[in-house]
Chain A
Amino acid sequence: MFNTALTWSDLAFLAQGAAMTLAVTAVSVTAGTLLGILFGVIRVQAGPYWSMPLTFVLDVFRSVPLLIQLVLANAFQSIAKLGWAPFTTSCVVLSLYTAAYCTEIVRGGITSVPPTTRRAARSLGMTWWQDMRYIVAPLATRVSLPSWIGLTLGVMKDSALVLWLGLIELLRASQILVTRLQEPLFILLICGAIYFLISFPIARLGGYLEKRWSPND
């Protein structure tokens, strides 16, 4: 049969890498989403003119390669003597990167709520906060969730780049094994399969939600 030098402990090593990928993703997506909601609401409330500075900064995060952002942030933290570990730096950059995309998703969700619906809520005597909490949030979430799932998966895949700062996530772990065992194809296939197994079912769920929630209501 198939001969490989890959051992169980090597597989455990890959699993640790995958855990690191998931950890970076979880922290960044959580922080990025919270920031994204905040920025998104600010963008809608402040209007396009007053939110221009914010829009510009977020746009930079979407127009500069993530790898360059990571290198810059790492150089910056060392210059500023912040003493951040690679994990912290990675999460900070990825959180802002996530927030940049999430802001647009949130903004799209909020603006998709018809003004008449919101006016109805306000004319029932609801405060701005109540309108946001009970009317806008549930409706906007429905509209935004499929894109948000797409974003989460995007960040999960893009988190591979943190290997450049020395974090041993899934792809870096695979690369280390490749160098040691000299079986690039086999090990990379396992690595790809792990990414695929994480991403594909969630992507399908996103597609399903999009189909189910979009046109008919």
Chain B
Amino acid sequence: MFNYTFHWNQALKALPQMLDGALVTLQIALLSMLIGVICALALTGFRLSGNRVLSGFATTWIEIARNTPALFQIYMAHFGLGNFGIHLSPYTALLVGIAFNNAGYLAENFRGALKAIPDTQTRAGRSLGMSAIQAFRYIVLPQMLRIAFLPTTNQMVWAILMTSLGVTVGMNTDLAGVTQELNARSFRTFEFFALAAVIYYIIAKAVTLAARAIASRMFRY
């Protein structure tokens, strides 16, 4: 049925190159999460601030991030900003796009986590003489972290998967980009991309398992 010889050796020979790409993939994912978490915390604060401009800004960001494709957001960073004379490299555009997307989803997670902690917890802290900031810092925040932790690591997995979209804006150093370059030279599409799929799978599983291990150590209650 298959009139085709698989050349797995050729793909395996390129493994070191692809693993270098995987490192870039991880780097972008981690950076995008770091930026995403910071932005998400700010957005959450904006939404709770009671200031209409700030909370409107936050809501707009969050709804765009959640209601348009991630690829669209990367396109906006890569092509759209060109209108303002801002020309981002594929790497930066990819990073900005994913970080924007992460921030929107994470802000929603954080808000959910915050809502899940009853007001009586703050009240108990305040009646022990804690200031509002102390009650937030020592009572609400640690509980919020626990609730938000696993959704946040899920977002990390999403971020890793999203990095593959960089190839559509000319990214050629991450795992998908490297694979595409190898493919363009050899036309061994199936072999190279199958190997890439395996690497992505391993990374995604490793992140999930690591997150679970960390969670069970960090949150013992």
A186 to chain B: closest residue by CB:
B83
A72 pairs with B197, CB closer than 8 A:
yes
For chain B, give the interface size range: 35 or more
Distance between B196 CB and nearest chain A CB, rounded to angstroms: 6
A interface SS class = helix
CA–CA, A79 and B188, complex, Å:
11
Which residues from chain A contact B114 at a C-beta distance below 8 Å? Answer: none
Given contacts A79-B2, A79-B4, contact A64 B197 (CB under 8 A): yes
One of A67, A80, A188 near B1 (C-beta < 8 A):
A80
The CB with the most chain A CB atoms within 10 A, among B2, B193, B197, is that of B193
Which residues from chain B contact A192 at a C-beta distance below 8 Å? Answer: 64, 68, 72, 76
- Chain A contact residue count (CB 8 A cutoff): 40
CA–CA, A40 and B200, complex, Å:
25
Q: Does B133 contact A (CB under 8 A)?
A: no
A72 pairs with B82, CB closer than 8 A:
no
B68 pairs with A68, CB closer than 8 A:
no
* CB interface residues, A 147-176, toward B, < 8 Å: 153, 157-158, 160-161, 163-164, 171, 174-175
CA–CA, A74 and B3, complex, Å:
16
CB contacts between A and B, total, < 8 Å:
111
Q: Does B79 contact A (CB under 8 A)?
A: yes
A182 to chain B: closest residue by CB:
B82
CA–CA, A67 and B75, complex, Å:
15
* CB interface residues, B 60-94, toward A, < 8 Å: 63-64, 66-72, 75-76, 79-84
CA–CA, A189 and B81, complex, Å:
11
Distance between A103 CB and nearest chain B CB, rounded to angstroms: 17
CA–CA, A64 and B163, complex, Å:
11
B201 pairs with A199, CB closer than 8 A:
no
CA–CA, A64 and B195, complex, Å:
11
Distance between A208 CB and nearest chain B CB, rounded to angstroms: 15
Q: Does B49 contact A (CB under 8 A)?
A: no
* CB interface residues, A 110-142, toward B, < 8 Å: none
Q: Does A184 contact B (CB under 8 A)?
A: yes
B63 pairs with A200, CB closer than 8 A:
yes
Which residues from chain A contact B75 at a C-beta distance below 8 Å? Answer: 171, 174-175, 188
B165 pairs with A67, CB closer than 8 A:
yes
CA–CA, A189 and B168, complex, Å:
19
Q: Does A75 contact B (CB under 8 A)?
A: yes
* A-B pairs, 6 with minimum CB distance: A185-B83, A65-B164, A75-B190, A184-B79, A199-B67, A157-B69
Interface residues of B (CB under 8 A from A): 1-4, 63-64, 66-72, 75-76, 79-84, 157, 161-165, 167-168, 176, 179, 189-190, 193-194, 196-197, 200-201, 204-205
Q: List 15 A-B contacts (CB under 8 A).
A: A60-B201, A64-B201, A68-B164, A72-B194, A72-B197, A76-B190, A153-B67, A157-B68, A164-B168, A171-B69, A178-B79, A184-B80, A188-B72, A191-B72, A200-B63
